[in-house]
């Protein structure tokens, strides 16, 4: 990454606060009111889950992150600085501390294998180039695969051996245990999502097994009158007035059909039936959203409690709340959602109702 970019952007410090059992990583407040949290502020506890992690350094981390975040099976990505001296580093000091620009990748091993991830990784870098990728030069731009599970080393080395056949020069990509990882400044996170025309030495035109995008523009919010006319009294009370429907007396709390749950107001996809489970609460419960961008989070201190409210992105509908008492193996989150805020689309009707592209997301 060209150091000149840093001079153009104000650095926003990453701060952590603990409230109601959640770790909040306060990223940018741009475009948000004081009670709104980032879409990634509420993170699952992946360390105790069935998901796996791998850390990849491949030159400028903007492009590497953008590439892998769009692959089905990749649950979460962030960018940071890895395997340098200590953890007191930043974008301006990584050259002196010996850290490499690195992408943290959390993935679902039931959907995508480590072998595939490492193979894709070698396909977007020049592994024979020492301390240089694209236009970027320096030790911070070296290539490296950093693992936290010793069993991963054999897979990584096996893929590396296969890749070496393609090159006359030796592969110089580091393969090491992860020593440390420092989360990068806020403005680096999802950089190419926020700045599509930003610099990238990696082509994003051909991404394998790419997840379908949920475009907000495809699901415009109706006028207030149209919403009022369209919804039942309960649906309006829940989505527009932040009320809650009765437990065990709603449409979907015990629905076990395969399909897609959408925003009742706009039709924007929100949840998959694959991620629904019986929490015993009497409301539909999910371990995650269909995509991290489709909901927004807000601090909710009503009723003398500190909770995290969930609203739909396109419609701004109140959906429910998210809690940290869900299945540990799935990351520990429980999206407790009102049936009145949802419309269920059976799997066999996805094509008929305009949701054909989302079929690939079902296991």
Supply the residues annotated as catalytic: 60, 336
CA distances, 88 to each of 93, 204, 235 (Å): 9, 32, 50
DSSP H/E element including 132: strand 132-133
**Residue 131 token pair:** 């301390």
CA distances, 63 to each of 60, 76, 258, 270, 306 (Å): 6, 15, 35, 27, 37
Q: Which residue has the tokens 């997840």?
A: 211
Q: Are 53 and 148 in contact (CB under 8 A)?
A: yes
Largest CA-CA distance found in the chain, in angstroms, rounded: 70
* C-alpha to C-alpha distance for 67 and 56, rounded to whole angstroms: 12
**Residue 54 token pair:** 């791998």
DSSP H/E element including 62: helix 61-69
* C-alpha to C-alpha distance for 269 and 275, rounded to whole angstroms: 13
- Residue among 332, 351, 324 nearest 20 (CA): 324
* C-alpha to C-alpha distance for 273 and 41, rounded to whole angstroms: 24
Handedness of CA 360, 278, 288, 102 (dihedral sign): negative
**Residue 266 token pair:** 């706009």
């Amino acid at each position: 990454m060209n150091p000149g970019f840093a001079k153009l952007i104000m650095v926003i410090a990453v701060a952590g606060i603990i409230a109601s059992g959640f770790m909040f990583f306060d990223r940018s407040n741009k475009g948000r009111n004081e009670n709104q949290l980032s879409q990634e502020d509420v993170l699952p506890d992946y360390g105790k889950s069935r998901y796996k992690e791998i850390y990849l350094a491949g030159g400028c981390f903007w492009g590497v992150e953008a590439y892998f975040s769009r692959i089905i099976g990749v649950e979460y990505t962030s960018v940071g600085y890895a395997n340098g001296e200590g953890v007191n580093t930043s974008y301006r000091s990584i050259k002196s501390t010996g850290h490499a620009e690195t992408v943290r990748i959390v993935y679902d091993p039931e959907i995508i294998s480590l072998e595939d991830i490492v193979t894709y990784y070698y396909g977007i870098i020049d592994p024979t180039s020492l301390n240089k990728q694209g236009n970027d030069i320096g030790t911070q731009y070296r290539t490296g695969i950093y693992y936290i599970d010793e069993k991963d080393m054999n897979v990584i080395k096996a893929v590396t051996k296969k890749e070496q056949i393609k090159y006359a020069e030796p592969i110089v990509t580091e393969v090491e245990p992860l020593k440390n990882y420092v989360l990068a400044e806020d403005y680096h996170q999802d950089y190419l999502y926020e700045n599509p025309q930003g610099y990238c030495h990696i082509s994003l035109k051909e991404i394998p097994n790419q997840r379908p995008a949920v475009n907000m523009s495809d699901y415009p919010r109706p006028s207030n009158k149209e919403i009022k006319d369209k919804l039942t009294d309960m649906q309006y009370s829940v989505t527009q007035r932040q009320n809650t429907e009765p437990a065990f007396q709603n449409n979907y709390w015990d629905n076990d059909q395969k399909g897609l749950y959408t925003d009742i107001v706009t039709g924007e996809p929100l949840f998959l039936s694959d991620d629904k489970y019986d929490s015993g609460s009497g409301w539909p419960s999910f371990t995650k959203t269909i995509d991290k961008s489709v909901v927004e989070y807000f601090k909710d201190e009503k009723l003398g409690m500190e909770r995290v409210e969930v609203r739909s992105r396109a419609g701004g509908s109140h959906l429910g709340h998210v809690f940290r008492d869900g299945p540990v193996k799935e990351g520990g989150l429980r999206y407790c959602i009102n049936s009145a805020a949802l419309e269920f689309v059976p799997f066999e009707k996805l094509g008929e109702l305009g949701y054909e592209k989302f079929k690939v997301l079902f296991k």
